[in-house]
Amino acid sequence: MPSESLCRAGERSFLELVSERAETLDDAPWLLSARTEQRVSFRELRDRSLAWQEVFSSEGLVSGDRVGLLVSDPVAFAICFVSALASGLWVAPLDPTTEIPNARTLDERIARLGLHAIISDRDAPSSLDTKWLDVREFPPRESVSPSAVVSPLTRGGVILTTSGTTGTPKIMALPTAQLVYTADLVARHNELTSSDRGFNPLPLWHVNAEVVALLATFMAGSSLVLDDRFHRTGFWSLMDRLEVTWINAVPAIISRLVSRHGDEAVPARVRFIRSASAPLSGPLLETFETNTNIVVIESYGMTEAASQICANPLRGPRKMG
């Protein structure tokens, strides 16, 4: 059954959910960086969301507008992502690993997605017509008063392009209410609590990391470590040092972790690794679980469904494959 907060979704805003988490969890961490000392608490997330709301308002953006998100740093991406949703905007995450095309090509892409602005951590191409919000120019204030404008939960959301595995790639608009609802289901299916800490090396411009990692962690009131990508060297020691209890992965990552390097030890506190985005072979699953003593949770989802559709349970009978 949906949580009480979601049953009243039509009466509330995502910003109110952010504020509730801040009041309840205060300085508890929501995000940590795997490669830097960055740490973002639930209180800081609320403050930055309010600061960004003022920036959006000052730039003439209103609830329902569309913004592109082209940010390389995972923690900065996550903050901007949640802040834009909290302001009732539609967010179109863009792959930051690709080179920015010339202004004309980028303008064509912006027009196709119907974007009103781009949020980025890099310089704008010259002669670009679209508004460019540089995250490096908008440091968050220490304290911000809530805006009088509260965006409804049913406004705004994420604009994504499907993978094309079921046909021609499509542009999908997933409302915030759907994202939050699915994230809450994922959090409860994986029995996430405030004592859990996830690890996500998957790209944040895909629905998996956005819902299963960022938003499910937010809904559970737990914490999440973000990495720029998967690094095999020193992986298990990193999981131990950061006190990770679950890992968000894909079969290609599991195949790299099935064998240990040297005398590295697998931390006992890691209770499951989640596999998605591609089929996982039965022999690989069995070998991984035998070698690591970590349960593999296979799941299947689609961008159109805001990620997870079905998943094996943490306990009890599981259907391999």
Q: Which string of DSSP letters, residue by residue, matches 176-245?
A: HHHHHHHHHHHHHHTT--TT-EEEE-S-TTSHIIIIIIIIHHHHHT-EEEE-SS---TTHHHHHHHTT--
**Residue 67 buriedness (CB in 10 A; 0-12 / 13-18 / 19+):** buried
- Beta strand pairing status for 272-275 and 66-70? unpaired
Amino acid (1-letter code) at residue 167: G
- Can you give the pLDDT at residue 150? 46
β partners of residue 264: none
- Can you give the pLDDT at residue 77? 97
- Tracing tokens 């990620």 back to the chain, one arrives at 307
Lookup: tokens for 128: 């670009």
Local structure of residue 219 (DSSP, 8 states): H
3-state secondary structure of 83: helix
Name 316's Cβ contacts closer than 8 Å, sequence gap at least 6.
none
The answer to whether 135 and 80 are in contact (CB under 8 A) is yes
How far apart are alpha carbons 216 and 210 in whole angstroms? 9
How far apart are alpha carbons 40 and 197 in whole angstroms? 13
The answer to whether 174 and 11 are in contact (CB under 8 A) is no
pTM of the complete model: 0.91
Lookup: tokens for 79: 């903050």
Other C-beta atoms closer than 10 Å to the C-beta of 137 total 8
- Can you give the pLDDT at residue 149? 47
Tell me the pLDDT of the chain (321 aa) as tens digits.
Answer: 345 545 444 457 899 999 999 999 999 999 999 999 999 999 999 999 999 999 999 999 999 999 999 999 999 999 999 999 999 999 999 988 877 766 677 777 888 899 999 999 988 887 788 899 999 887 665 555 555 444 444 479 999 987 666 667 788 899 999 999 999 999 999 999 999 999 999 999 999 999 999 999 999 999 999 999 999 999 999 999 999 999 999 999 999 999 988 889 999 999 999 999 898 999 999 999 999 999 999 999 988 899 999 999 888 888 888
- Can you give the pLDDT at residue 1? 39
The answer to whether 218 and 15 are in contact (CB under 8 A) is no
Q: Report residue 241: phi and psi, to 5°.
A: -65, -35
- Can you give the pLDDT at residue 144? 53
Residue from 277, 287, 270, 275 nearest 312 by CA: 275
How far apart are alpha carbons 319 and 229 in whole angstroms? 29
- Can you give the pLDDT at residue 198? 98
Lookup: tokens for 131: 């508004």
